[in-house]
Chains A and B, each alone.
Chain A
Amino acid sequence: MTYLIAIHGAFVQQWKVIAPGWSWLLGMVANVPMVAAFAWIATQSDRSSVVGYVAIGLFLMTLWNQSQIGIRWSVGEEAWMGTIEFSLISRAPLAVFLFGKSLAYALAAARPAVVAVVAALLIARQPPAVADPIGLAVSVCVAFVAVVATGFIFAPLNVIAARQLDPVVALRAFVVVFSGFLYPVSLLPAGLEGFARIFPTSWAMDAVLIALEGGAGEALALRLASAVGMSAAYFAIAGVLFWKVEERVRVSGALIT
Chain B
Amino acid sequence: MSALTTPATLVVQGFLSYKALAWSGIAAYAWNRLARPILFVTMFAIMGRFVGDPVAAEAYIVGMAAAAIPATILDGILPSFSFERNAATLPFLFVSRANRIALLWARGSFHLVNSWASGAISLLFAWSVLRLDFSRVDWVTMATSMVVISWSCTAFALFAGNFSLLLRGYNDLSTFLQGSMVAFTGAVIPLSVLPPPAVVVGQALPFTAGLVAFRAAFAGASLDMVGGSLATEAIVGLAYAGLAALFFARLEMQAKRRGSLSWEAAA
A37 lies within 8 A of B46 (CB)? no
- Cβ of B31 to closest chain A Cβ, rounded Å: 4
Partner of A50, one of B51, B176, B179: B51
Partner of B28, one of A21, A41, A69, A170: A170
A166 within 8 Å of B (CB atoms): yes
A34 closest partner in B (C-beta)? B179
Chain A, interface size: which category?
35 or more
Given contacts A26-B173, A33-B179, A167-B27, contact A47 B189 (CB under 8 A): no
Expressed in whole angstroms, the Cα–Cα distance for A170 and B188 within the complex equals 24
- Cβ of A75 to closest chain B Cβ, rounded Å: 15
B180 within 8 Å of A (CB atoms): yes
Q: Which of B36-44, B151-159, B228-236 is the contact stretch?
A: B36-44
B interface residues, tally (CB under 8 Å): 41
Expressed in whole angstroms, the Cα–Cα distance for A173 and B172 within the complex equals 15
A32 within 8 Å of B (CB atoms): yes
A83 within 8 Å of B (CB atoms): no
B24 within 8 Å of A (CB atoms): yes
Given contacts A37-B188, A41-B60, A166-B24, contact A26 B36 (CB under 8 A): no
Expressed in whole angstroms, the Cα–Cα distance for A37 and B198 within the complex equals 12
A23 lies within 8 A of B49 (CB)? no
A140 within 8 Å of B (CB atoms): no
Expressed in whole angstroms, the Cα–Cα distance for A189 and B45 within the complex equals 10
- Cβ of B188 to closest chain A Cβ, rounded Å: 4
A31 within 8 Å of B (CB atoms): yes
- Cβ of B33 to closest chain A Cβ, rounded Å: 11
B9 within 8 Å of A (CB atoms): no
Given contacts A37-B183, A166-B25, A189-B129, contact A30 B172 (CB under 8 A): yes
A26 closest partner in B (C-beta)? B172
A33 closest partner in B (C-beta)? B179
Q: Which of A141-149, A177-185, A238-246, A249-257 is the contact stretch?
A: A177-185
- Cβ of B149 to closest chain A Cβ, rounded Å: 18
Residues of A within 8 A of B176 (CB): 26, 29-33
B184 within 8 Å of A (CB atoms): yes
Residues of A within 8 A of B5 (CB): none
Of residues 156 to 197 in A, which have CB atoms within 8 Å of B's CB atoms? 164-167, 170, 173-174, 176-177, 182-184, 187-189
Partner of A41, one of B47, B171, B179, B184: B47
Expressed in whole angstroms, the Cα–Cα distance for A27 and B179 within the complex equals 13
B43 closest partner in A (C-beta)? A177
Expressed in whole angstroms, the Cα–Cα distance for A184 and B51 within the complex equals 11
B92 within 8 Å of A (CB atoms): no
Of residues 24 to 50 in A, which have CB atoms within 8 Å of B's CB atoms? 26-27, 29-38, 40-42, 44-47, 50
B167 within 8 Å of A (CB atoms): yes
Residues of A within 8 A of B182 (CB): 33-34, 37
A188 lies within 8 A of B172 (CB)? no
Given contacts A33-B179, A166-B31, A166-B32, contact A40 B51 (CB under 8 A): no
B254 within 8 Å of A (CB atoms): no
User: Apart from A170-B28, A182-B47, what 17 extra A-B contacts exist at CB < 8 Å?
Assistant: A26-B172, A30-B172, A30-B176, A30-B179, A33-B176, A35-B179, A37-B189, A41-B44, A41-B48, A41-B51, A41-B56, A44-B56, A45-B51, A47-B51, A177-B42, A182-B50, A183-B47
Lowest 5 A-B CB distances belong to which pairs? A33-B179, A34-B179, A166-B28, A45-B51, A30-B172
Q: 10 A-B Cβ contacts within 8 A?
A: A21-B263, A23-B169, A33-B183, A33-B184, A36-B189, A41-B56, A42-B47, A44-B56, A73-B171, A189-B129
Residues on A facing B (Cβ under 8 Å): 21-23, 26-27, 29-38, 40-42, 44-47, 50, 69, 73, 164-167, 170, 173-174, 176-177, 182-184, 187-189
